[in-house]
Structure 1
Amino acid sequence: MEFAERLTALAAKVRQQKGQIETEEATKNAFIMPFISTILGYDVFNPLEVIPEFTADVGVKKGEKIDYAIMHGGTVQILIECKKSKEPLKIEHASQLYRYFAVTNARIAILTNGEVYQFFTDLDAPNRMDAKPFLVLDLGDIDETLLPELLKLTKDIFDLDSIISAAGELKYIGAIKRAIAAEFKEPEDDWVKFLTSKVYEGAYTQKVREQFTGLVTKATKQFLNDQVNDRLKAALGTPDFPMATDAELAASVTSEKPVEDDLNDNGIVTTPEELEGYNIVRAIVCGDVKPARVAQRDAKSYFAILLDDNNRKPIARLHFNREQKYLGLFDANKAETRFPISSLEEIYEHADALRTSVKAYLVEAS
């Protein structure tokens, strides 16, 4: 099994089991030890490779233990501090990592709850662990661009010099990406003001701020939709979706509402994952109907995919606002059946049912 496949398999296991994991020890056994063995490639039962409950006296503190120390070349190279899976990671959890980092040869420290792995080194000051990670691996949302760097930490390839040399760039690129993601989800005033200044020449008043906050949010969602669509087309190996007429395009675009409606979104947040699922469904049915006729409407409890933006012509519903995701499909009587899915790729397994629904609506209209 390839490296990326092993990581995907572990991520699926974490999604399925994390609701039942209550303690730190259970987190170690279920998630972290498999990560050390199947992803990093170290034998967790060989004390020459992995030392559990590693002890190193630190100043006046005697007998303190860190969860795991990974050995490579006969010396400690990686320290790992673990927290239970249901506990969000905080920098306060890394206090022991800070202390141990200064008294061992380790240049890499990992803070993890089994789902999120934060990797630290000593970029800011020699032999002193940085306050911010240079790499963050989230098994709930794997960033594939990080895999080559993660591979450098594995037993067979371990390349500390390459890791450290790339850490500075990774640290800031990762931080910038997370900052952009936060602005996309809920834009701050400075971000709104900056983008407004690019397109609006008038004074930036309170009324203008309120108006453009809604517009920036809407433009962001549409931009993400376009990016996902481009990636999907590339993955499908097709140069473009079939072209729609101007009239069809106009019919598929929701008219702009007053600013008050833009601001009053009732707490509905359309996620990139929902948009990617929408584009997968649209790609599946584009052989039967032009993509411009496949519309989407988000709601608090589900994301609806409709033909001709008509609630009486549901193609599918994405129930992604929970730990277990479901794809909702409709029969001839428009009764919905929910199918559990663990990844967006599983939508393709229901391609025939999706096409059948669209064809039924086309027959009704003829």
Structure 2
Amino acid sequence: MEFKEQVANLSKRSTTATQKALTEEATKTSVVLPFIQILGFDPFNLDEVVPEYISDVGTKKGEKVDFALKINGETTILIEVKPITSSLGNAQYSQLYRYFGVTEAKLAILTNGKEAWFFSDIDAPNKMDKKPFFKFDFQKHSDDEIDELSRFQKDEFSIEGILEAASALKYSHAAAHYLKGQLDEPDDEFVKMVGRQIHDGMLTKNVVEQIRPAIQSALESIIRDRIQDRLDIAFRPKSETTKAEGTTSEDGATSDVITTEDELQAFMMVKAIAAKSISTDRVTIRDAKSYCSVFIDDNNRKPLCRFYFNSKSKNVLGLFNESKGEEKIDLGSLEDIYKYAEAIAQTAASYA
């Protein structure tokens, strides 16, 4: 079975455990041991998987970490398990933190059967970082995240490669977080940094306030242009209309509804806008005869917007508020969708 299929099976186990596993032991049995297994370790071989791993730490005697994974006799990964009913954001993992510094392990995993958080010592040698460099959601994940998870398989394990990727992930995530903040609301330092390149003279407080909206608008324009460039490339070779294979209608039946290029292009725009608030993997399209719907998680109780593009005279965008009320707006062109980016992003955020 391919790794991607194994992860899909693990996702089903995790979903079932969310409803049925009430204790830490149940979480270990139903999700964590299968997780260890798909990483290529034999849970029944004590040379590879040591449960209730003990390594005395200073004055702390007899403390245990739930699992230690070994490769060629060396302790490589430490795993601490919390009940699937708990949140990792609130979890205490002091044992994992202490053990990390006194074993040869360079990786530590904290999991509750719904998520796995991966830690290393990027910030300071032999001291586990306070923040994970990678988070994997067992139930909702992208193909790229599955590829990232595959790095931790025993047969492909390379601590040098993992740490190099961990460092890159950490800084790219931090940079993305910073740039997203500047896109939403550029701070004075960012405005001054750009301002020095575009303004001759002193950057007084009045000048900073004057150019701030222009810089924010420029950032948004760059993003729109990049999205539009990709859309042009994606759709240029296609015919004016595309038949959506296996399109599912609102009543759940398969039909021969035609999804037009305009609807697909509008969907890509909305997906890009929603990315400010939510993972794009959760944004889905479902076409019907009278309109085309965009949902979160393919759930009709989580509507994001609708496209009423079947009229020959005009295109209409349907926007939803928090109470699921719909407002219909006439579009002069598809690019007008960007005018309602804030409303779309807010609705997406309400489902985060």
| Count of residue pairs the alignment pairs up | 282
1:297 — aligned with what? Answer: 319
2:122 — aligned with what? Answer: 123
Alignment map for 1:260-339 (pairs within 5 Å): 271=278, 273=280, 276-278=283-285, 281=292, 293=315, 295-302=317-324
Moved more, 91-100 or 162-171: 91-100
What is the rounded CA distance, in whole Å, between the counterparts of 1:8 and 1:177 in structure 2?
A: 28
Over 3 Å counting, the alpha-carbon distance change for 1:144 and 1:167 in structure 2 is same
Q: Which amino acid aligns with 1:83?
A: K
Answering whether residue 79 of structure 2 is matched by residue 80 of structure 1, we say yes
Q: TM-score, normalised by structure 2?
A: 0.60
Give the CA RMSD over aligned residues.
4.9
What is the rounded CA distance, in whole Å, between the counterparts of 2:112 and 2:231 in structure 1?
A: 31
What is the rounded CA distance, in whole Å, between the counterparts of 1:228 and 1:180 in structure 2?
A: 20
What is the rounded CA distance, in whole Å, between the counterparts of 2:208 and 2:142 in structure 1?
A: 37
What is the rounded CA distance, in whole Å, between the counterparts of 2:54 and 2:73 in structure 1?
A: 16
| Structure 2 gap segments, 5+ residues each | 200-205, 242-261, 267-275, 295-306, 332-346
1:62 — aligned with what? Answer: 61
| CA displacement at 1:110 relative to structure 2 | 0.9
Alignment map for 1:1-366 (pairs within 5 Å): 1-15=1-15, 17-38=17-38, 40-90=39-89, 93-178=92-177, 227=227, 234=234, 239=237, 242=240, 271=278, 273=280, 276-278=283-285, 281=292, 293=315, 295-302=317-324
Over 3 Å counting, the alpha-carbon distance change for 1:45 and 1:87 in structure 2 is same
| CA displacement at 1:64 relative to structure 2 | 0.1
What is the rounded CA distance, in whole Å, between the counterparts of 1:305 and 1:239 in structure 2?
A: 34
What is the rounded CA distance, in whole Å, between the counterparts of 2:193 and 2:286 in structure 1?
A: 27
Q: Which amino acid aligns with 1:112?
A: T
What is the rounded CA distance, in whole Å, between the counterparts of 1:228 and 1:175 in structure 2?
A: 26
| CA displacement at 1:191 relative to structure 2 | 9.8
Q: Which amino acid aligns with 2:10?
A: L
| Structure 1 gap segments, 5+ residues each | 244-248, 254-268, 310-318, 324-366
| CA displacement at 1:101 relative to structure 2 | 1.2
- Local SS of the residue matching 2:14: helix
Q: Which amino acid aligns with 2:63?
A: E
Q: TM-score, normalised by structure 1?
A: 0.58
| CA displacement at 1:67 relative to structure 2 | 0.9
- Local SS of the residue matching 1:153: coil
What is the rounded CA distance, in whole Å, between the counterparts of 1:239 and 1:286 in structure 2?
A: 25
| CA displacement at 1:302 relative to structure 2 | 4.3
Q: Percent identity?
A: 32
- Which deviations, in whole Å up to 9, do the C-alpha atoms of 1:308-338 show, x marking residues without a partner? 78xxxxxxxxx99779xxxxxxxxxxxxxxx
Q: Which amino acid aligns with 1:52?
A: P
What is the rounded CA distance, in whole Å, between the counterparts of 1:305 and 1:6 in structure 2?
A: 43
Over 3 Å counting, the alpha-carbon distance change for 1:293 and 1:287 in structure 2 is closer
- Local SS of the residue matching 2:103: coil
Tell me, yes or no, if the aligned pair for 2:17 and 2:27 is still in contact at 8 Å. Answer: no
